[in-house]
Structure 1
Amino acid sequence: MHDSPIPNIAADLADRVRPLRWTDAGLEVLDQRRLPDRTEYRLCAAADEVAEAIRTMQVRGAPAIGIAAAFGVVLAARRWFRENPERWKRLIEADLETLARSRPTAVNLFWALERMRRRIADLEYVPEPALLAEARAIHAEDIAANRKMGELGADLIGQANGILTHCNTGSLATGGYGTALGVIRSIWQRALAGSGDARPHIFATETRPWLQGARLTLWELVQDRIPATLICDSAAAFLMQQGRIQWVIAGADRIAANGDTANKIGTYNLAVAARQLEVGFMVAAPTSTIDWELPAGDRIPIEERDAGELLPEYYRGKERLAGAWNPVFDVTPKELISAIVTERGIVHPDQESLDKLRA
């Protein structure tokens, strides 16, 4: 464990924040539980340590979880090939299962693991170089996809005075740049470069109970010197009612084949309010977030975390008297979504449109 400074990216919005860094010793994970007070990277030298970092939300955000899992496979292959080069492919299966169990909702996790499995099947010799190249490719492709989505989303939004975003969908939640926050970055980059007139004010929900908006999104926006205002989750509908928001931009942890979308708890509330108040509602997510095997959102597994994350300290140990329900995600029906922005294009959220994105 060691502290590592993150450079300020305000001058050129160069997007140098990275939640994951590969080294010869293993995967360094920026512990997002410590932000914004400390920028502390933790070294994961084994697959089970990567799984624990995902489970305990040291690393979070669907794309970042998938990337971390890919590097976890590299660490597993390193261990098992060293210990038993004849049976490493069989022995690695337990680690793959451990990684798969770390979080249930973000489909990018399973997508990345399946991609690494296919690469494993092709290997006959020392596996680490090929698997490391694949994990690095997943990481690089995510950043490129985010930048493409940023440009497409900025094109769609055009002029807007106010944008509301929920949870954290920036560099910290991805390989870099961000999905929904990447769209916001692109809008501001255009304005600062003189190629766009819009300089919308950004509002971020606090995003209880982990406060990803208050701790992480606001931190990223401050790094970029993008004007931002934090609001409590329950103030969002009132803010829209005041006419101060033209677009809500959200990310996604899983998109069903019909366009229904799972995202951080509270997203559905925002989509309902946006529809009622005629505010645009955009989902920005890479195509790796689309679960083609899942026909509709009611089939998306929703993670529920420990009630202790929600209850004040006073109620700990009194759960029978003062319990808590702590779902981490909710599902927004496709009818409430104005557009889904992916690296392959912008689509209307219906199955026919989404099918055009299949590789």
Structure 2
Amino acid sequence: MSVPPQYQQNDAVALFAQCFHALGDNIERVVKGKRDTVELALTCLFAEGHLLIEDVPGTGKTTLARCLAASIEANFARVQFTPDLLPSDITGVTIYRQNTGTFDFLPGPVFANIVLGDEINRASPKTQSAMLEVMEERRVTADGKTHPVPRPFMVLATQNSVDMGGTYALPEAQLDRFLMRVTVGYPDHASEVAVLTGSAANTSPDSLSTIASSHHIAEFIQVATQVQVAEQLYDYIVRVVAATRTLPDVRLGASPRGSVALLRAIRVRAASQSRGYALPEDVKALAVHVLAHRLILTPEAELSGRTGADVIAEVLATVPVPQAAGGARI
């Protein structure tokens, strides 16, 4: 299902929405009762961002990542992060070939369209830092040479709660490179009963059909970038992000990278709803998932139980929503 350049924007956006929801339906065959989380993962994919899935063990973090990869005809690689994992195990290594007398670079698993970093916070900070360059610049530098990764490129990382044994907190610089952080959560009663009674027993990520190729995903990523954003909405995004830097409970607010990430995400959400324009409601729907993990709270705020999500909710409640001509909301 291609998007020929002669298509009008509305036609392209309609095709985008069809693909988006077809992917969601496909993933939901396995990941039961988590439609909101599935759509957030898809939003991250089409926004060309990286996704951090955080929750306790056994809630389906890895399953969600595998289902997303299985729904796309693209190169997929999985890295199981462990304390003894080395940076070269992820990015690749340069070897000397004695028969030719040359040094050749052997790409690591990060050279794939979809990279699943399973339990990423079980690796040491040194190994985690190997992901910084490729997540931001989509290339790997080895022995003074740069090697680009394929596009589309997405890192799907899972992590257990940092207060569990054998885990390391992710560095702030790496957290900032994830476009979103989501939690899967426990399934509702009906969904868990469906698993136990066997209605989902014959459905696994490996059995899912392919909905779109990497070529189609790349085309639809371009469609999302064409979603219109009003000048007032640009201003609203900047004011929301800037407000996180001035609150007394926040030691370090969201950076301009957070503003850019939020803009990319709201464009995808608008297109997924067959709209060629973004609204303030898109900002409100995604701000917590895009910005909360980028904040560093003061020790006093953390001791009182405040979270980044609480701060973003407070910001959204206080920053005025932009108005269109005549006083109507955009």
Tell me the TM-score normalized by structure 1. Answer: 0.23
Tell me the TM-score normalized by structure 2. Answer: 0.25
